[in-house]
């Protein structure tokens, strides 16, 4: 009787199709985060490359404008970051740390599960140390550091570190809620994970566009980059 009851209470083993779907969604979230960041950088570089090409004229090969456009992109990013209000830069650093940790850990755990790459599960004896453990420690340590330190530079670094800690922790939200290792099961694809990843991606993208737009205006006013055509 007890065995039958335990059998009914035990979670059903995911089917091969469910595992395959979970893999695709999890890895897709990570690749989507990286793809959006790449698209933002590529789009900004294309805009500045177009400015340089327009300034030099159609007779100038496009490749000759590439180094100057790359330098412009760095200058715009730096100037935009400096000119951005503190609340926005701190939020940008927090979201960047969150998304970076989220993307890296999703891809690395998938590689571990597939036996690819140099990464392996961390174990102490026979106990598997999940990445929410260092995530909680990093987040708590960042909060403590924020209380004990002062200065804008330290705040920027602490915001990134706290974002990384939050990303590592919330990536295993399903495990923390269910107290079972459901990372790669359909139960692990909780809406909270997808919602947090989507909201963080959109938030970081909006802040990046604001930062870069502010940097473009400052650099154009200073005569560091050509005016928009």
Write the CB contacts of 89 (distance below 8 Å, at least 6 apart in sequence): 81, 156, 211
Q: Answer yes or no: is 8 within a domain.
A: no
Q: Answer yes or no: is 226 within a domain.
A: no
Q: Answer yes or no: is 5 within a domain.
A: no
Q: Answer yes or no: is 15 within a domain.
A: no
Q: Answer yes or no: is 48 within a domain.
A: yes
Compute the residue count for the chain: 229
pLDDT, mean of residues 4-14: 47
Q: Answer yes or no: is 119 within a domain.
A: yes
Q: The dihedral of CA 182, 183, 189, 193: what is its sign?
A: positive
Q: Answer yes or no: is 95 within a domain.
A: yes
Across the strands, what pairs with 128?
123
pLDDT, mean of residues 133-141: 91
What domain range is 132 assigned to?
Answer: 27-221
Closest by alpha carbon to 13, among 171, 187, 139? 187
The pLDDT of residue 20 is: 47
The pLDDT of residue 16 is: 45
Whether the CB-CB separation of 29 and 36 falls below 8 Å is answered with no
Residue 1 above 50 pLDDT?
no
- Please indicate, yes or no, whether the overall pTM of this predicted structure exceeds 0.75: no
> Which tokens sit at 126?
């026979």
**pLDDT tens sequence across 30-77:** 677 778 788 888 888 888 888 887 776 655 566 777 888 888 888 888
Q: HSE of 38 in the Cβ direction (CA atoms, 13 Å)?
A: 7
Q: Answer yes or no: is 57 within a domain.
A: yes
Number of domains in the chain: 1
> Phi, psi at residue 203, to the nearest 5°?
-65, -45
Closest by alpha carbon to 175, among 114, 119, 105? 105
Higher pLDDT, 189 or 175: 175
Higher pLDDT, 145 or 123: 145
Rg (CA), the chain: 22
Question: What mean pLDDT, rounded, does the chain reach?
Answer: 75
The pLDDT of residue 22 is: 55
**pLDDT tens sequence across 83-121:** 888 888 888 888 888 888 877 887 887 787 777 777 777
> Which tokens sit at 56?
């030099």
pLDDT, mean of residues 127-135: 83
Band of residue 144 on the pLDDT scale cut at 50, 70, 90: very high
Spatial separation of the C-alpha atoms in residues 228 and 190, rounded to whole Å: 45
């Amino acid at each position: 009787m007890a065995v039958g009851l335990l059998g009914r209470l035990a979670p059903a083993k995911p089917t091969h199709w469910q595992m395959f779907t979970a893999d695709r969604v999890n890895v897709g979230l990570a690749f989507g985060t990286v793809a959006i960041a790449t698209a933002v950088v590529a789009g900004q570089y294309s805009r500045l490359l177009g400015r340089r090409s327009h300034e030099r004229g159609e007779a100038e090969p496009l490749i000759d404008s590439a180094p100057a456009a790359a330098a412009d992109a760095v200058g715009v990013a730096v100037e935009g970051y400096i000119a951005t209000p503190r609340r926005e830069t701190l939020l940008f650093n927090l979201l960047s740390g969150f998304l970076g940790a989220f993307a890296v850990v999703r891809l690395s755990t998938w590689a571990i599960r597939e036996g690819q790459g140099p990464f392996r599960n961390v174990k102490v004896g026979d106990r598997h140390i999940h990445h929410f453990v260092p995530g909680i420690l990093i987040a708590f340590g960042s909060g403590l550091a924020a209380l004990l330190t002062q200065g804008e530079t330290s705040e920027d670094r602490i915001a990134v570190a706290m974002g990384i800690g939050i990303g590592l922790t919330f990536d295993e939200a399903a495990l923390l809620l269910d107290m079972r290792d459901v990372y790669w099961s359909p139960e692990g694809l909780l809406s909270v994970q997808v919602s947090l990843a989507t909201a963080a991606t959109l938030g970081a993208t909006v802040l990046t566009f604001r930062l870069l737009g502010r940097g473009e205006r400052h650099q154009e006013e200073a005569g560091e980059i050509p005016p928009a055509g």
